[in-house]
């Protein structure tokens, strides 16, 4: 079982996620299918992730995802925006979008991360092209507090998915 799976299954109150890149996983076959016009049902394409998040939110755990994006958006961000209703929102996540121009003045961590129950941080490490290198679990409550405070400022300034137009 992966770090994220274990933490989702044991989460009691919250899981928050910050995404800061305009592109991820350049060789991902799902991204390539979407880019080439082959649309799909995200919940069917990623049933394990969908079920994990759905089961977590069904237990009453709040799952929030904030995405910081450039404008005009990259094609990858358009892809994320397109699959968000069928995957993230349908599984019970809340998703918000923050343009970089609206992020001015915020202190934003330099890495993507998850925080579970405001105590456990999982840093997502990527290569320069957006390829996933690894997840690093940090049981550092002080870091979790700082990252959570940053996330909350980002969240408050972000636009809910239903209102964010590409």
Domain ranges of the chain: 3-163
Prediction pTM value: 0.97
Task: Render pLDDT for 46-100 as a digit per residue (tens, 0 to 9).
Answer: 999 999 999 999 999 999 999 999 999 999 999 999 999 999 999 999 999 999 9
Question: In Å, how far are 25, 44, 105 from 30, measured between CA atoms?
Answer: 10, 12, 35
Neighbours of 116 (CB within 10 A): 24
> Which of these CATH numbers, 3.40.50.300, 3.30.420.40, 2.40.30.10, 3.30.870.10, describes 3-163?
3.30.870.10
């Amino acid at each position: 079982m992966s770090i994220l799976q274990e933490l989702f299954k044991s989460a009691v109150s919250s899981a928050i996620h910050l995404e800061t890149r305009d592109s991820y996983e350049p060789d991902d076959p799902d991204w390539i299918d979407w880019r080439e016009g082959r649309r799909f049902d995200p919940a069917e394409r990623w049933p394990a992730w969908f079920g994990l998040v759905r089961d977590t939110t069904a237990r009453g755990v709040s799952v929030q995802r904030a995405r910081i994006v450039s404008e005009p958006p990259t094609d990858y961000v358009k892809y994320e925006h397109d699959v968000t209703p069928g995957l993230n929102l349908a599984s019970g996540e809340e998703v918000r979008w923050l343009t970089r121009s609206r992020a001015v003045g915020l202190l934003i961590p330099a890495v993507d991360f998850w925080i579970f129950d405001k105590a456990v941080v999982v840093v997502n490490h990527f290569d320069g092209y957006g390829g996933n290198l690894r997840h690093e679990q940090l049981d550092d409550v002080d870091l979790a507090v700082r990252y959570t405070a940053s996330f909350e400022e980002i969240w408050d300034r972000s636009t809910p998915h239903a209102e964010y137009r590409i």
